[in-house]
Structure 1
Amino acid sequence: MTVNLRPLRIAANAELASLVVMLANLATAHLRPVTSLMGPAHGCAYLFVVGATWRLARDSAATRASAFVPGIGGLLALRRLRRSPRKVPEPLP
């Protein structure tokens, strides 16, 4: 049985994109509506990436730790998850 990484991939890309938009906004016009929209979006994507990585990478502390890096942590965790053999836990009886 394989593990579906698609939700983690979407959240990791959303996290990176929202961080880029926030930094670009900070460097240029610093519009409050952009900040108020992208700040929570980035925070939600970051928390989803950390939670999903923690759930998927039960045996690898390095993979879980890489998810805590803001912006690119999700992409780093995805890279490590793709390289490691996927161990799916047995369902409880």
Structure 2
Amino acid sequence: MRTLRIAAAAEAATLLVLLANLALVHAQPVTSLGGPLHGTAYLVAIATTWHAADEGARGAVWRALIPGVGGLLALRRLQRRSPAAEPAPSDHTMRTP
């Protein structure tokens, strides 16, 4: 999950940098560096999601395929299905006096 967190953050951040560059300055070095970084982060997010998803979480893989934010959506989906993300059952029961 740590790899997916890093890849998802890199995917979203590089997309923002590329869009800002497109809207503001059109600097070729930013595009030349940001494009491959974004593509690599996108592919790592897909591969990591594919590896981490069990049969019940195949929806996470489909979410990972969305360019730009797919890694974040897949991470959110996997965290919801993770047993560690669920709260432990409480031992507090209602007692009657």
TM norm structure 2: 0.81
Question: 1:73 corresponds to which residue?
Answer: 70
Equivalent pairs counted in the alignment come to 82
Q: Is residue 16 of structure 2 the alignment partner of residue 20 of structure 1?
A: yes
| Amino acid in the other structure paired with 2:67 | P
Higher RCO (C-alpha under 8 Å, 6+ residues apart): 1
* % identical equivalent positions: 55
Deviation at 1:77, TM superposition (A): 0.6
- Higher relative helix content: 2
Larger radius of gyration: 2
- Could you list the runs of 5+ residues in structure 1 that have no partner in the other structure? 87-93
Distance 1:33 1:75 in 2: 26
Comparing 77-86 and 9-18, the one that deviates more = 77-86
- Between the aligned partners of 1:10 and 1:63, the Cα distance in structure 2 is 16
Cα RMSD of the aligned pairs, angstroms, is 0.9
Q: Structure 1 length normalisation: TM-score?
A: 0.84
